[in-house]
Amino acid sequence: MTVADGIDQTSPKAQRQAERERQRLLKYYSASQWTLIWWRFRRHRSAMLAASILGFMALLGVFAEFVAPYGTTTRDGQYIDGPPQIPMFCDANGCTLTPFIHGVKTERDPVTLRAKTVPDPDTRVYVSFFAKGERVTVLGLFETDRHLFGLDDPDAMLHIWGADDLGRDVFSRTMYATRNSLTIGVLGVLISFVLALIIGGIAGYAGGMTDNVIQRVTEVVRVVPIIPLYMGLAAAMPKEWSTTQVYFAMTLILGLFGWPTLARRIRSQLLSIRNEDYVVAAKLAGARSSRIIGQHMLPSFTSFIIVDLVISFPYMILAETALSFVGLGLRPPTVSWGVLLQQAQSVRVIEQTPWLCIPAGFVVIAVLAFTVIGDGLRDAADPYSGAR
């Protein structure tokens, strides 16, 4: 055993292995805090999955113009309340290599005599990628009339997730809604972050009387039920405001009252390190307060702040969805998940046109993803969670 060890130690293979191990440790011990967090986060499989789902959703939102075959208000009078059309390869008339859907024709209901649209199994409309459609500007930069997918026949329309009561394409609308809902979340979180930084920073750094007063105010904002509070502010928006104004007002409203939790976190962290030697040293050296907070104190708990930011996303998204759902948030023709769900408010609608609930799936997935990512980040950011 010992002999074998002795031989192995000197063998070139073992030496290479030892060297590699040394390099690995060197890399580990010299890695920055952020690299360590990233390594630990990468090991968190469900969080990585959630992050990729969310990334995909964000991509859908960013390239909504390209991904969506039609605009948010484009109407297909032929396909009002029509069910999802799933592209297929085979039907009663045989198979093809290109996916197709059946064309539609209008029939009269034998009982109610109402005109209704039914699929016509004898006609085929072929589906293709990068099909020609409406002219759109992607990313606000380049113009194109190609969309990710569409129909070869420019007169027919493809509704893979069905159409609503005005014949608007649910898939296209959901894509645009994804963009709006996610950006509202991002902007809201950013605004509340800046506020939390200022308010929590002042309270935690100054301490004493200032802290007491700020704590009282924070308490007041925290104690009022948040959605009714948002509703009150949203109800105050003048009816004649344009949709853009409403959009920005909504982000402001969500941001203005989202700060208390984060501000408390920043305050308590600042209070706990206020008397650390390096802070006192910086003070004695004559550094300005803003510099001490920004340069010396904040970096010590940035990772916690990021975790809190990620966790506060779902609340923003849910609040926006809830407000728009009851008609106090964004207003049509702006689309968001909540605005789309407004159409699915009654049991009758869910029974007859269940595809209008698809945006609800997006809400649930987005909120779940943010929560899982938040958990993963929290584990990764905690230096005591067993460094490996």
Partner 1 sequence: MLRFTLERFVGMVVTMALVSMMVFVIMELPPGDYADRYAFRKFSGTGVSVTEADVEAIRADFGLDKPMVLRYVDWIGGIVLRGDFGQAFAFETSVVKVIGDKVWLTLGILFATLIITYAVSIPIGIYAAVHRGSTADYGLTAFSYLGLALPNFLLALILLYFANRWFDVGIGGLFSPRYAEAPWSLGKLWDLFKHLWLPAFVLAWSAVAYQIQTVRATMSDELNKLSVTAARARGVPEMKLLVKYPARLAINPVVSTIGFDVNRIFSELPIVAAVLGLTELGELLLRAYLDLDMYVAGAILLLLTFIIVFMNFVSDLLLAWLDPRIKLGSR
Of the candidate spans 1-9, 188-196, 228-236, 293-301, the one that interacts with partner 1 by CB under 8 A turns out to be: 228-236
Q: How far is the CB of 217 from partner 1 (least distance, A)?
A: 7
Q: Does 138 bind partner 1 (CB under 8 A)?
A: no
Report which of 214, 206, 312 is spatially closest to residue 264, judged by C-alpha positions.
214
Contacting partner 1 within 357-386 (CB under 8 A): 360, 363-365, 367-368, 371-372
How close are the terminal C-alpha atoms of the chain, in Å? Answer: 30
Binding map of partner 1 across residues 304-343, x = CB under 8 A, - = no contact: ----------x---x--xx--xxxx------------x--
Burial class for 264, CB neighbours closer than 10 Å (0-12, 13-18, 19+) = buried
Q: Which stretch binds partner 1 (CB under 8 A): 56-64, 133-141, 188-196, 213-221?
A: 213-221
Write down the residue that tokens 């650390």 correspond to: 276
Task: Please identify, among the stretches 221-229, 258-266, 282-290, 379-387, the one whose residues bind partner 1 according to the rule CB under 8 A.
Answer: 221-229
Contact by Cβ (8 Å): 320, 338 = yes
Closer residue to partner 1, CB minimum distance, 279 or 323: 323
Mention every residue, 6+ apart, whose C-beta is less than 8 A from residue 316: 184, 185, 188, 189, 254, 258
CA 252-179-233 angle, to 5 degrees, is 25
Q: How far is the CB of 304 from partner 1 (least distance, A)?
A: 17
Closest residue by Cα to residue 75 from 17, 159, 186 = 159
Q: How far apart are CA 273 and CA 358, in angstroms?
A: 48
Structure token pair of residue 356: 């209008």
Candidates 49, 186, 206, 226; binder of partner 1 (CB under 8 A) is: 226
| DSSP notation for 306-324 | HHHHHHHHHHHHHHHHHHH
Q: How far is the CB of 111 from partner 1 (least distance, A)?
A: 22
Residue among 153 and 382 whose Cβ is closer to partner 1: 382
| Stretch near partner 1 under the rule CB under 8 A, chosen from 16-24, 199-207, 264-272, 347-355 | 347-355
Question: Which residues form the interface with partner 1 (CB under 8 A)?
Answer: 216-217, 219-229, 231-236, 238, 314, 318, 321-322, 325-328, 341, 344-345, 347, 350-351, 360, 363-365, 367-368, 371-372
